[in-house]
Amino acid sequence: MDRIATFRSFIEKSPADPFPRYGLAMELKGRGQLADAQLAFAELMASFPDYVATYLMAGGTAVALGQRAEAAVIYRKGIEVATQRGDTHARGELDSALAELAPT
């Protein structure tokens, strides 16, 4: 069974666990299937909006797809979630990613 099928199987078995969905999105991104990864990240953000790790990777995927405005929206939402959860490390990474989008 390939990794994508494995992640899908884990999602079926544990639909309340965000990690297999994150793993699926990351696997798709790693394979260069960016549109599919973007969809997987969007589903993850909709189902588990407090899963902070999603926002940096989802924003990066949007950047890779040339969707800089969408990436900024994702990073800002991630900053909000990281702040609410007290995750200063993720907040810093998201702040940096957002700053990199600013025109120079």
The CATH number of the domain holding residue 46 is 1.25.40.10
Q: Where are the alpha helices (DSSP H) in 1-104?
A: 3-13, 18-30, 34-47, 53-64, 68-85, 88-101
Nearest to 25 by CA among 56, 1, 66: 56
Count of Cβ atoms closer than 10 Å to residue 69 Cβ: 9
Domain around 42: 3-101
Q: What is the pTM of this model?
A: 0.93
Tell me how many domains the chain contains.
1
pLDDT of 38 > 70? The answer is yes
Looking at residue 102, what is its pLDDT?
83
pLDDT of 43 > 80? The answer is yes
Tens of pLDDT along 57-97?
999 999 999 999 999 999 999 999 999 999 999 999 999 99
CB 71 within 8 A of CB 38: no
| Crossing angle of the two packed helices 34-47 and 53-64, in degrees rounded to 10 | 150
Percent of the residues in the chain that have a pLDDT greater than 90, as a whole number: 96
